[in-house]
Structure 1
């Protein structure tokens, strides 16, 4: 039995879809489709992330093919993590966006901010990470209204190299979460930010108006649709 076969059995036993797993791990669904279709093999980090996120998966089955598939048979719920497995991360809810923009130049005092508890496995040693709350449905279906995401700052020396992902961008007095497809900061000195929802629209931002960029690396909480 191949690792792909074992993963299929694990996903079936958990009763969850590839989309749900990808959202939980902060990965692109195409990664798991490629693995299950035999076009790629899961990395060690992917296997460990699965075992950390879903502790009911039997590591003996996933790695060696030794039954049972799950440590607790016939369960499709995730075990709760303890406080020792989590970290308090600065949380910027929608209501704080305006204050965050106004205070950005002077720096934000973490002691004055709300915090959100995030699993250490999701943090993956990310530095200066914050949790952002999504407002509206311009980035649906991946990011819906009320979802909370982990974001890490991008150095201004690397802004022109960011593309293909979802980013939080602060420009002038605005703070938005959009996708960067074609980055033209290096050539034309502007950045076009795209909505995933066709009705969400796009916005073009000149380089001189950009104050900060954060890369969205993981969904840490999302309401049920």
Structure 2
């Protein structure tokens, strides 16, 4: 999953518009965020930093690398995670697992087809 798609998921999970999200980062208009979301720009370090400052509940590892949960855990002092955010985290993890299962099934099907083709030779 790309950082652009994670950013879109974050905006959706926060239930804010792209314009509101951009304004929280100190942008007057949402053009820069729109360009990032559509792959025309890559987010720079300062943009990532602004996101993490504006939304301290966001897990930096998830945003940067797609690792872990979207939002920080409760035991983190700077994270006040709500039940709704926890549910979103669980939905996201289920989505990731479903994607992985689908990919594994496709790989399995391809391998079975190759084995069958080799046996018939």
TM superposition score normalised by structure 2: 0.58
5 Å-filtered alignment, 1:120-159, equals none
Preserved CA contact (<8 Å) 1:10 1:70: no
Corresponding position of 1:58: 59
Q: In the alignment, is residue 9 of structure 1 matched against residue 9 of structure 2? A: yes
Separation in structure 2 between the aligned mates of residue 2 and residue 52 of structure 1, nearest angstrom? 21
Deviation at 1:31, TM superposition (A): 0.4
Corresponding position of 2:75: none
Deviation at 1:50, TM superposition (A): 0.4
Corresponding position of 1:69: 70
Separation in structure 2 between the aligned mates of residue 26 and residue 63 of structure 1, nearest angstrom? 20
* Unaligned ranges ≥5, structure 2: 73-80, 86-121
Separation in structure 2 between the aligned mates of residue 31 and residue 11 of structure 1, nearest angstrom? 14
Corresponding position of 1:31: 32
Secondary structure of the corresponding residue to residue 26 of structure 1: coil
Separation in structure 2 between the aligned mates of residue 11 and residue 20 of structure 1, nearest angstrom? 9
Secondary structure of the corresponding residue to residue 68 of structure 1: coil
5 Å-filtered alignment, 1:38-117, equals 38-71=39-72, 72=81, 74-75=84-85
Secondary structure of the corresponding residue to residue 45 of structure 1: helix
* Unaligned ranges ≥5, structure 1: 76-225
Q: Which structure features the higher share of helix residues?
A: 2
Deviation at 1:67, TM superposition (A): 2.6
Number of residue pairs matched by the alignment: 75
Deviation at 1:39, TM superposition (A): 0.6
Corresponding position of 2:20: 20
Root mean square deviation, CA, Å? 1.3
What CA deviation, in whole Å up to 9, does each residue of 1:163-222 have, x standing for no partner?
xxxxxxxxxxxxxxxxxxxxxxxxxxxxxxxxxxxxxxxxxxxxxxxxxxxxxxxxxxxx
Separation in structure 2 between the aligned mates of residue 11 and residue 44 of structure 1, nearest angstrom? 18
Separation in structure 2 between the aligned mates of residue 51 and residue 18 of structure 1, nearest angstrom? 16
Preserved CA contact (<8 Å) 1:35 1:41: yes
TM superposition score normalised by structure 1: 0.32
